[in-house]
Amino acid sequence: MTPLTIFPLVWLALCVIAIVAMVLLRPSRHVVWLVIIVLLVAISVWIALPNNPGIKVDLNGDGAPEIDKPISVRQGLDLAGGVRVLLQADVPPNTTLPAGAMSEVQRIIEERINATGTLEPVVQLRGDRRIIVELPGEVDPEAAVKLIRQTALLEFVDFGNNPPPAGTIVQTDLAKSTGEATATAEPTTSATVEATTEPTSQPTAEATTAPDATATPEGPVYHTVMTGDILQTADVTFQRTINKPIVSFVLTPKGQEEFGKYTTEHTGQYLGIVLDGVVISAPRINEPITGGSGIIQGSFTLDEATTLATQLRYGALPVALKVESTSTVGPTLGKISVDQSIRAGIIGIIVVLIFILVYYRIPGIAAALALLTFAVLNFAIYKFIPITMTLPAIIGFLISVGTAVDGNILIFERMKEELRHGASLRRAVDAGFSRAWTSIRDSNFSTIIICAVLYAFGTSFGAGAVRGFAVTLALGLLINLFTAITVTRTFLHFILMPLNDETVASKPWLMGLVREAA
């Protein structure tokens, strides 16, 4: 294990030690907050590292981690490029679509894309029968179109006592009655199945790549007993014995009842699992299966299994779609422009740090440390969630940096005012934070409300770019409520410990005060 992989365990151990020490020693609240801040900064710096390996937890030691959380920066379409697809309803020109059909198509497409890990996809209606889909970071237009359009019709088919081999393209009465297209000569998955006998057994398939095949018009038409509508959920898991991804599904209560009834009445016969007209598996029913769950097992890659589970979970599109155009979009800013933007942001933060250090002196040191804490906490959250970073999102973060500095200015100016009126150092510090808090709270929350409005209207056509701006700005304002008050105050407490009222009176410049002329 690399040091980066071990760090989360070390961090957890330090947390436990810190909690035990604080319970036993009962330190002051400033010490407690300092420990919490140091631990938060430590894990945030680890998350922010560019070569972070992510969080992988293998509880069973079988090589398949039960927790696998990648940690990386997710760039938006304007920074990293991606795929843009223009889709149109595949219906005759004079056909009137059912009310709300295209809105339902939009919802299903968004759910499918989000289930694959792509955040903030742009899925927008254009007119009454067109949809634009933008996928940041996607590099394969064909895979994107397949995920969006594919129906993934899952059927449980009665094969009687003579099942066709796995990988065979078959016709079903449901497909013929609804006009569903059968599979053609594209490679698909085939299976050889070992029947199971346990009451809660799951139909499984060991898949390989099937040869090209086409459905024969004179072939038998099989009866569809149930469809994928009986599925309650479908997810990707790993089978420990073979350490390969599989698709597990759970039936709805109604589906479980129908499945149990059918397997009870047809014990000894074969029940086929058919996906888009292709036989995936055909297990023999040795006894009633009432467990209400099953798996589709095959030679899937993780991406293939994820796509299949997504298609099964979100079902078919209510309107067939055809692709009008597909384009791969390059980064509109370009690598040089991105590097320049990052450099400009770093220079801006450095200038702000120099200002608060020169103008506020010792309090400025605490503010500078709090501002660095603010920045690393934000970036760690961006990577951990993750939040798609676009140019508007970066602007939202930079504005939140200015708001964080503004909060410290309110606090320090109030402190200076109290010191000018003869208050002691400790009293001036307490008054600065307590009396500036209401202004910081009200201004931040009012802006957060505006961010919520921007986020809500970001679903409208042409306004999707503002959602990233609203998210990063609101997140920065929330973190600022913590750093401007708690973090700054904690650092300032320890920095001011060597000072007393006489030192401040004789050297007012330490607190950013100018000695008044006699």
What is the rounded CA–CA span in Å between residue 336 and residue 346? 15
Domain with CATH 1.20.1640.10 in the chain: 334-511
56 or 241, greater pLDDT: 56
Tell me the per-residue pLDDT of 383-432, one tens digit each, with 9 for 90 and over: 988 887 888 888 898 889 888 888 899 999 999 998 888 889 889 999 99
Domain with CATH 3.30.70.3400 in the chain: 82-147
Domain with CATH 3.30.1360.200 in the chain: 152-316
Sign of the alpha-carbon torsion through 314, 318, 320, 325: negative
Asked whether 250 and 276 are in contact (CB, 8 A), the reply is no
Helical segments of 385-514, H only: 391-420, 425-457, 465-482, 488-495, 501-506
Residue 470 in tokens: 């609203």
Tell me the CATH class for 334-511.
mainly alpha
Return the CATH number of the domain spanning residue range 82-147.
Answer: 3.30.70.3400
Tell me the per-residue pLDDT of 280-331, one tens digit each, with 9 for 90 and over: 777 788 777 777 777 766 666 777 777 667 666 655 566 778 888 888 877 6
Tell me the per-residue pLDDT of 361-370, one tens digit each, with 9 for 90 and over: 899 999 999 9
188 or 43, greater pLDDT: 43
Q: Residue 206 has what pLDDT? A: 39
- Tell me the residue length of the chain: 518
Tell me the CATH class for 152-316.
alpha beta
What is the rounded CA–CA span in Å between residue 407 and residue 367? 10
Share above pLDDT 70 across residues of the chain, in percent, rounded to a whole number: 79
What is the rounded CA–CA span in Å between residue 22 and residue 199? 53
259 or 459, greater pLDDT: 259
| 381: Cα separation from own chain's centroid | 11
Assign 445 a pLDDT band (cuts: 50, 70, 90).
Answer: very high
Asked whether 205 and 273 are in contact (CB, 8 A), the reply is yes
pTM metric for this prediction: 0.64
Residue 229 in tokens: 């509508």
Q: Are strands 67-69 and 122-126 parallel, antiparallel or unpaired?
A: unpaired
Does residue 207 register a pLDDT over 60?
A: no
Tell me the per-residue pLDDT of 118-151, one tens digit each, with 9 for 90 and over: 555 778 887 788 888 888 777 777 777 776 766 5
Average pLDDT on 460-467 reads: 63
State the chain's mean pLDDT as an integer.
78
